[in-house]
Amino acid sequence: MTPPVAKVSSKATPRASRAASSAAARRRSGGSPRWGRMIGLLLVALIGLGTYALANGFGPVDDAVRGIVLPLDHQSIIRKQARAKNLDPELIAAVIYEESRFRDQTSAAGAKGLMQITPQTARFIAQKSGGSAFVLRDLATPEVNIAYGAWYLRYLRGLYDGDEILAVAAYNAGEQNVDGWVAAAGGIDSFDHTADIRFKETRDYVAGVIEHRRLYRQHYRRELGIGRD
C-alpha cells in the first residue's frame, strides 16, 4: 500500500576520510571486509535455503528457520480480526508480510504500522467504522493497526464483488488505478492479475500475497487457527 521508502544519504565525507574511518573501525573490531562479505553470503544462503525448504515443505528445516524467513506475530489479534471481518487469517498475515515483514515502521509517504496504513486511509476507515475517538498515533498499536487494515481489506473485497485479488491490488495501488485496470480488461470477470495490472510493483505485491498466503496456511495452521470452527 506504500511506495518504496526513499533512502536519504548522510552528508558526504571525503573519500580518504571515509577509508581511514573504515580502517580504524576494522582495527577496533578486529574484522575485515572479506569476513563481512563471507558472513553476509552465508546469511543469504541460509535464508535462501530456508525459503526453499518452506516452499517445498521440508519439516525439520522449516521448523528451524520459518521464524526468520516467514515471520509471524500478533497471532491472537489476526485470528480475532479474521473472525470479526470474515477474512481468512492467512490473508491478513500475508498482507502484513508484504507491507512490513511484521515490523512496526513508518514509510516515507507516512504509512504507519504493520499494515502500512496512510493517515488519509486511516481517517476514512475511522469515519466509516465509527472510530470517533481515533487519533493517528493509535496506528502504532498492533490491535488498532491490524483491525483497520482488516476492515479496509473487507471493504475493498466488497467493492470488487468479493474478488480478493482485486482487493489486494487496490490495497497496494489504490481504488482509482484498479478501477481503470478492470475497465480496460472488460470487467471483473475478464480481469487477469498477471496481465492487466499495469504497475510492476503491484503485480509483484499481488503475487507475493498469493504465495505467502499459501505458505502461512501451510506452516502456521495451529497458530492462525486455520480449520477450526
Percentages helix, strand, coil for the chain (3-state, rounded to 5) are 70, 0, 30
Active-site residue (options: 90, 99, 143, 211): 99
Half-sphere exposure of 208 (CA within 13 A, CB side): 19
- Is-contact 115 138, C-beta < 8 A? no
C-alpha pair distances (Å), 13 with each of 7, 17, 20, 26 = 17, 7, 11, 18
What is the grid cell recorded at 195? 496481465
**What does the block give as the cell for 191?**
480481469
As a dihedral over the C-alpha atoms of residue 149, residue 151, residue 152, residue 154, rounded to 10 degrees, the angle is 120
Residue 99 appears among annotated catalytic residues: yes
Whether the Cβ atoms of residue 102 and residue 73 lie closer than 8 Å to each other: yes
Q: What is the number of residues in the chain?
A: 229
User: Contact at 8 Å (CB) between 132 and 117?
Assistant: no
- Kindly list the catalytic residues: 99
